[in-house]
A and B are shown apart, each in its own frame.
Chain A
Amino acid sequence: MKLARDTWLIFQRQIQLLLRNPVWVFVGVFQPVMYLLLFAPLLKPALNAPTQAAAYKIFVPGLLVLLAIFGGLFQGFGLIAELRAGVIERSRVTPVSRLALLLGRSLRDVISLIAQAVIITLLALLFDLRVFIGYLLLAYLMLALIALMTSAVSYGVALKVKSEDALAPLMNTVAQPVLLLSGILLPLTFAPGWLQGVAKWNPFSWAVDGTRALFAGDLSNDRVWQGLSIIAVLAVAGVVWAARQFARSVR
């Protein structure tokens, strides 16, 4: 199938370039690891958690979702560099599938996110976090869908604005409220009613709740399938929109 073949070609190339410079893995996990080591210990008393492990069960899923959102949203910068180098234009004169130009790149972002998530999960295991492997994989699926969506949106916006100077403030403006209104760092159970009401409209809030439920081993929690479905729909929409930008972008 042409789409699968083209996607694989683009993905292969992107992964090859990424592996040529493996510092990214450490840069990418450095910040979350700092949170894990320096911020999480404050949580047990703050969350009134019975044990440190219980605090991690709440904090680690939020941290991973955070990583997925931000990791994805800032991928557009790499694309602007490619745009400037003429690499995108060179691809667009070939008969390669436009969707593959997007998917190949987003797939790389998903894989690198999962690699980072694994590193962080393993570290958290040292702090007595325990998760059933099946639930963990479902949580990773959630993370993968988030990263797919945010990176696709980031690429689409990058193709529209075509400059780092416009992309940076735009992404920050989007990311800040999304972050604060999702209960990523602290669960919104302590939030006042109005804040909880607003957060209901934030899809990432559903994703975080679902991921937390998975880490807590609570598969029957409705938030799990709700979160997965919401994010899956948004990911598809994001991909379709961004692929259209690849098809028509000017310069």
Chain B
Amino acid sequence: MIETRGLRKSFRSRAGRETKTVDAVRGVNLEVAEGEIFGFLGPNGAGKTTTLRMLATLIEPDGGEATIAGADLRKDPAGVRRRIGYVPQGGSTWDESTAREELVLQARLYGIGKAEAHRRATRALDAFQLSEYADRKCKTYSGGQRRRVEIALGIIHEPKIVFLDEPTTGLDPQSRAHMWDEIRRLRAEGMTVFITTHYLDEADALCDRIAIMDHGEVVAEGTPAELKREISGEVVLVGLDAAATPRAAELLDTEAYVTKLETADEGGLRLYVDEGATAIPQVLRRLDGDGLDLRSIELHRPSLDDVFLTKTGRSLRES
């Protein structure tokens, strides 16, 4: 659905007398499949918005190519515009207009006739549960309501792909959950959704596939599960008395599913396994069979933050 090859963009900015060049995006290759929720995860300034703005035809790439829903970004930007929707990070509604006015105008800007534009606006207001406030000025909306209006604006022309730049930033947990549902509904309707986020849990729970971006480059790409498995597998923490530990280590070291075994300082073992869920019963059986007394057992699954840490040497939470 989206394919990019070597997409690049630098900005020149003046700081006092010097001009500095920021390589915001440096060679991004992506493939996004039809009907998936694709997530762009990365810290502030990673280049997520810049990439999105290039794909949405708002800024011209310095280099590279992209095909979006069959239209070439460079040769046919008008074709790209017709096929995509874009919801900017910083909002897109005017304080003094109402949601209905905004929706009708946006539909008409896409070339839709007046009567049809009104029908679509009404339908969108229903779908996003905004009918109640439809004729109130946008400045009176809550953050979550306003964000929903903006997303409705982005899809009023029923695009094949919609780009949502940080759709949940600044929303309270309840509105966020609500927004996730809306995004899943778009996917259920057959739309390809491309979101950016710096929330780990959002990338993990909402996205079918993600690309982790840092300093203008994609450092990892795949499903959240794949990415996590790739880095270290999963870790089973076995709690044992210090006295029982050596014997347990001896027993488990020979097991095929244990890729690596470490002894913890205060007693107990760390077992690196491919899949913790199937390893745990086997560990239990093995130790039980030898009459060893098990204090606790715990499964540690690597998070996307661990993935980010291995790929960049920093934690996403800190950057």
Contacts and interface: CB of A to CB of B under 8 A. Distances in A.
Nearest to A12: B105
B177 interface: no
B108 interface: yes
Q: By CB atoms of chain A within 10 A, which of B82, B96, B105 has the most?
A: B105
B95 A85 contact: yes
Interface in B143-166: 153, 157
Contacts of B95: 85
A126 interface: no
Interface string B43-77: 00000000000001111100000000000000000
Interface string A6-23: 100100010011001100
Interface stretch (B85-93, B219-227, B269-277): B85-93
B149 to A, nearest CB: 11
Contacts of A90: 86, 88, 92, 106, 153
A55 to B, nearest CB: 42
Contacts of A3: none
Nearest to B95: A85
A34 to B, nearest CB: 28
Given A93-B57, A95-B81, A250-B59, A20 B109 contact: no
A86 B88 contact: yes
Given A93-B58, A95-B81, A250-B59, A9 B92 contact: no
A79 to B, nearest CB: 12
A248 B77 CA distance: 13
B78 A89 contact: no
Contacts of B97: 13, 17
Contacts of B94: 17, 82, 85, 87
Contact of A93 (B86, B90, B93): B86
A90 B154 CA distance: 8
A250 B106 CA distance: 20
A86 B92 contact: yes
Contacts of A6: 109
* Chain B: number of interface residues, binned into ranges: 20 to 34
A183 to B, nearest CB: 39
Contacts of B106: 90, 94
A96 interface: yes
Contacts of B105: 9, 13
Given A6-B109, A17-B97, A87 B92 contact: yes
* Chain A: number of interface residues, binned into ranges: 20 to 34
Contacts of A95: 78, 81-82, 109-111
Contact of A9 (B56, B93, B109, B153): B109
B165 to A, nearest CB: 10
A85 B91 contact: yes
Contact of B91 (A2, A17, A86, A91): A86
A160 interface: no
A84 to B, nearest CB: 8
Interface string A92-115: 111110000000000000000000
A190 to B, nearest CB: 46
A86 B105 CA distance: 15
A17 B95 CA distance: 10
Given A93-B86, A94-B109, A85 B92 contact: yes
B96 A9 contact: no
A27 to B, nearest CB: 16
B293 to A, nearest CB: 63
Contact of B58 (A2, A9, A89): A89
B37 interface: no
Q: By CB atoms of chain B within 10 A, which of A17, A21, A86, A93 has the most?
A: A93
A21 B139 CA distance: 15
B14 to A, nearest CB: 13
Contacts of B157: 94
A96 to B, nearest CB: 4
A178 B230 CA distance: 68
A86 B90 contact: yes
B133 to A, nearest CB: 18
A90 B59 CA distance: 13
A16 to B, nearest CB: 8
Interface in A162-176: none
Nearest to A94: B109
Contacts of A82: 94
B84 interface: yes
23 contacts: A9-B105, A13-B101, A17-B96, A17-B97, A20-B96, A85-B91, A85-B95, A86-B91, A86-B92, A87-B92, A89-B58, A90-B153, A91-B109, A92-B58, A93-B57, A93-B81, A93-B86, A94-B81, A94-B110, A94-B157, A95-B82, A95-B110, A96-B109
Given A13-B97, A86-B92, 10 more contacts: A17-B96, A86-B90, A87-B93, A87-B94, A89-B58, A89-B92, A90-B153, A94-B157, A95-B110, A96-B109
Closest 8 CB pairs of A and B: A86-B92, A90-B92, A94-B109, A93-B86, A96-B109, A95-B81, A86-B91, A86-B88
